Copies of this chain bind each other. A is one copy, B any other.
Amino acid sequence: MDEKFESYFKAAVSVDNVVFGFDHTGLKVLLIYRGADPYRNCWALPGDLISLDTNLIDSAEKVLQDLTGLEEIYMEQIHTFGKVDRHPYGRVFTVAYFALIKIDDYHLHPSSWAEEAAWFPISEIPDLPFDHNEILSYAKDQLKSKIRRQPIGFELLPKHFTLTELQTLYESILETEFDVRNFRKKILSMDFITDTGLKQTSVTHRPAKLYKYNAKRYSNLINTGFAFDL
């Protein structure tokens, strides 16, 4: 390599994950309490610098896996942020991902770089270090536009869910309301959720039917020009 290239090889790259979860109180984001400098003792997005011997996507997955213990998580790269002064230690580009997880299924494992991890309601996010508020805002927009066109909402719900839960999920993320009858008609006509035959238990009123998502049916459909649109 020509030595004129040397000056370029002085940057670092990190990944930052915007992890969304959902429960009956609404949409949540997972933040960690930083245990190391810079910005020690601040709430921030979970992320890490990338080792030179690790592929980008593997780094992003590892951060999430360390944090949640999960293997199969829905993840998607959303944007790369690269302002000159976004990191106090030098030139650090960061590649942002969003991830969707089933909030009930997992106990969080704070990892080496995080003293604590917690879910924050999407409307109560504190000031975050770096450009993390900007990243989060970007991720929210992406989630909103993505969920309208692909059946990814199911990644946020338990395996079995009620139609009311599904509707509440869509209403929270899209910040709108749907007519109960029209929503059900549309979702059911798309034909990739299935009645499990089961019903809710331990509710103090008429129990709702439990449905499950049929990912296979969707992957069959996309090749037919089918478009999910809500």
Contacts and interface: CB of A to CB of B under 8 A. Distances in A.
B2 A12 contact: no
A36 to B, nearest CB: 9
Protomer copies: 2
Q: Could you say which interface size class chain A belongs to?
A: 20 to 34
A97 to B, nearest CB: 10
Interface in A55-102: 55-57, 77, 79-84, 89-91, 93, 95
A106 interface: no
A9 B37 CA distance: 16
A25 interface: no
Interface stretch (A26-34, A44-52, A164-172, A183-191): A44-52
A13 B82 contact: yes
Contacts of A79: 77
20 contacts: A2-B37, A7-B51, A8-B52, A9-B10, A9-B11, A10-B10, A10-B12, A10-B52, A11-B12, A11-B50, A11-B52, A13-B82, A13-B93, A52-B84, A53-B84, A56-B80, A56-B82, A56-B83, A56-B93, A77-B79
